Structure 1
Amino acid sequence: MQNDETDLKLIALLSENARLPVADLSRRLGIARTTVQARIDRLLARGAIAGFTLRKGPGLRAPVRATALLSIEPRAAAAVVARLKTLPQVETVHTTSGRFDLIVTLGADTTEDLDERLDDIRDAQGVKSSESLIHLSTKIDRAG
């Protein structure tokens, strides 16, 4: 079943603030509270909404952030990902197509800490090469 326009508006509102009360959602969407709750339940059951989570604000986010693009040895993905899981500064790891095999986002409190973590990633067994990109400023952040 596809999401209709109301579902998409509901998802957008919840993306901005997942803690909005159903009554507020109802008022903003112009539909009954029971309808809003039924739609949320249906979206959860279908997997359109995977869950509700906390988005870190500027006071909790690491002040220095980077993306590391990794090329890895054949059949080394599981070991490299296992190593990345041990580094608390690693926030996300994505597989990708193209020149790089993994995209890693990470944050640290200082440039020195970030440099050490990037060295840890580069030195991990199975990593052939890496390229690091330091985040300077955020222009759009829809994910938090």
Structure 2
Amino acid sequence: MLDFDKLDLDLLRLIVEEPRAGVREYSRRLNIARNTAQSRINKLESSGVLVSWRPQIDLAPLGYTVMAFVHVHIAQSHLEPTLDRLTRIPELIEANTVSGDGDLLCRFVARDNSHFGEVLQEVNGTEGVLRTRSEIVLSRRVWPRSIPIVAKLRTDQNSGRING
């Protein structure tokens, strides 16, 4: 684990909560020099902590109202070529190798249940896919988040449980 101090964590929290505020505003809120804020941001980026400045998009208003998680079982030693083929399916929005049931846990979106059936047929017809098991999301309760972990790290530093 790289060494991040309280200032790094406070800056990271600001970036996640208000990504459009800009370096000048971050430095003003944290009462630090603009160059300090920029160098800390560069450190967060180069260390791989801050991986994107992309906005989070809800695809439902764009007509993709169905979301599903699909466990994909892949023929032995065919993971990479099969994953490459699966990424050609535009409705695939996330894929992770996992332990447990299946080799990949993928997140797909679709316009409706009928469209999801078509997407699932395409997945099952992909060379290297042995079988799938899907679960349709009824409602999203918690969006992907990182702030609770950043806050926990900050609290742990204040209590002396980690160095920083």
With normalisation by structure 2, the TM-score equals 0.77
Structure 1 residues 14 and 70, CA, compared in 2 at 3 Å: closer, same or farther? Answer: same
- How far 1:130 sits from its partner (Å)? 1.2
Give the secondary-structure state (helix, strand or coil) at the position aligned to 2:38: helix
Counterpart for residue 72 of structure 2: 70
**Aligned pairs, how many?**
143
Counterpart for residue 89 of structure 1: 91
Identity %: 29
1 CA distance for matches of 2:24 and 2:61?
A: 29
1 CA distance for matches of 2:11 and 2:62?
A: 27
Larger mean CA deviation between 29-38 and 76-85 belongs to: 29-38
- How far 1:21 sits from its partner (Å)? 1.5
Counterpart for residue 34 of structure 2: 33
1 CA distance for matches of 2:39 and 2:62?
A: 34
Give the secondary-structure state (helix, strand or coil) at the position aligned to 1:132: strand
Give the secondary-structure state (helix, strand or coil) at the position aligned to 2:99: coil
Larger mean CA deviation between 17-26 and 88-97 belongs to: 17-26
**Structure 2 alignment gaps of length 5 or more:** 146-164
In the TM superposition, what whole-angstrom CA distance separates every residue of 1:57-105 from its partner, at most 9, and x where no partner exists? 3534721111101111101212321221111000111111122100111
**Structure 1 alignment gaps of length 5 or more:** none
Over the residues paired in the alignment, what is the CA RMSD in angstroms? 1.9
With normalisation by structure 1, the TM-score equals 0.86
**Match status 1:8 vs 2:3:** no
- How far 1:46 sits from its partner (Å)? 2.5
